[in-house]
């Protein structure tokens, strides 16, 4: 508990799904000076707004979580926006962190940085062995450039920034908007809406054969705070739970947990996305003692319970 007291911390995206959990973890670690720039107050794609942020907050540490993000459909519809907004935010935040002599910058990448075909489980050393999966490549590459910048700044300026790559996150408070949600909240919503409308089936994208790994949002927040405190190297680090599940098995599990009794119809005209995703998580454990704690079934139950309680508030 000696690291965080007295530190001034900016958490971009701190009002978002992951950000709220990171802010709670920081508060639990006795960090009392946390500045969360909201989207209404600061447009982080604009240089002048970033300067205003640094002038106003004068941070010691920046944890950059803000991102324009979504599932396969949202990535296919907005490749230009996902590339530009994520790239320009990250590049300028990191550059001005250097200029304003911030002591530590934690950049959040994504599993989408990895090549489409990567040996499973994904190791950090395989990051540059191919091109990312096409449907989310613009987003993945925009985030990946933050790693390049982070390493270049450490080399030239001795600037202390780190780069973390989480797998798909899920948990209470996730984005359930069908236009932009990821697979778990999208499936949960589909099941509840089908039950409400007395539909006999739900339609799911792809073949169901692709695999994914999921990290409970509270575990992810723990990993980010631990890394910010204890990790000071330029090599990227995976944040994951170290397991793999097919979309078919995932869908059947969510159908079972939500109580939907109808059929699952696979729309094979829609893309699967990356064929397989599963991270090697050894480095996070070795470097800063992070290991995911929440079992997948328990995390899903919490997420479904939250959705049921907040049905009327969800967009």
From 54, 139, 216, 307, active-site residue: 139
DSSP letter at 128 equals T
Count how many residues are written for the chain: 315
Asked whether 201 and 236 are in contact (CB, 8 A), the reply is no
The contacts of residue 251 (CB under 8 Å, 6+ apart) are 187, 204, 208, 264
CB atoms within 10 A of CB 252: 13
Residue 294: name the closest of 217, 238, 225 by CA.
217
Q: Is 277 within 8 Å of 213 (Cβ atoms)?
A: yes
Residue 96 annotated in active site: no
Strands 211-212 and 61-64 come out as unpaired
Element (H, E) at 63: strand 61-64
Place of tokens 């030239």: 156
**Chain centre to alpha carbon of residue 265:** 28
Catalytic residues: 139
């Amino acid at each position: 508990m000696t690291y965080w007291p007295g530190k001034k911390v900016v958490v971009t995206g701190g009002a978002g799904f992951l950000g709220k959990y990171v802010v709670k973890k920081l508060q639990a670690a006795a960090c009392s000076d946390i500045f969360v720039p909201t989207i209404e107050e600061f447009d982080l794609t604009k240089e002048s707004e970033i300067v205003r942020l640094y002038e106003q907050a004068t941070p010691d540490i920046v944890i950059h979580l803000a991102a324009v993000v979504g599932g396969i459909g949202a990535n296919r519809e907005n490749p230009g926006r996902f590339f530009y907004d994520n790239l320009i935010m990250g590049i300028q935040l990191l550059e001005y962190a250097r200029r304003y002599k911030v002591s530590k910058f934690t950049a959040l990448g994504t599993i989408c940085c990895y090549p489409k075909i990567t040996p499973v489980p994904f190791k950090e050393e395989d990051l540059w062995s191919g091109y990312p999966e096409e449907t989310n490549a613009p987003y993945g590459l925009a985030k990946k450039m933050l790693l390049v910048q982070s390493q270049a700044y450490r080399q030239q300026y001795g600037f202390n920034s780190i780069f973390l790559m989480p797998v798909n996150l899920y948990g209470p408070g996730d984005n359930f908007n069908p236009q932009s949600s990821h697979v778990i909240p999208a499936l949960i919503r589909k099941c509840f809406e089908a039950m409400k409308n007395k539909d006999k089936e739900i339609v799911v994208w792809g073949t169901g054969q692709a695999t994914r790994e999921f990290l409970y949002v509270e575990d992810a927040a723990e990993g980010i705070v631990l890394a910010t405190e204890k990790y000071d190297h330029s090599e990227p680090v995976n944040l994951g739970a170290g397991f793999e599940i097919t979309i078919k098995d995932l869908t059947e599990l969510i159908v079972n947990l939500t109580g939907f009794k109808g059929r699952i119809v696979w729309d094979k005209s829609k893309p699967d996305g990356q064929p397989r995703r599963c991270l090697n998580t050894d480095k996070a454990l070795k470097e800063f003692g992070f290991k995911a704690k929440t079992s997948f079934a328990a995390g899903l139950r919490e997420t479904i319970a939250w959705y049921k309680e907040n049905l009327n508030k969800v967009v």
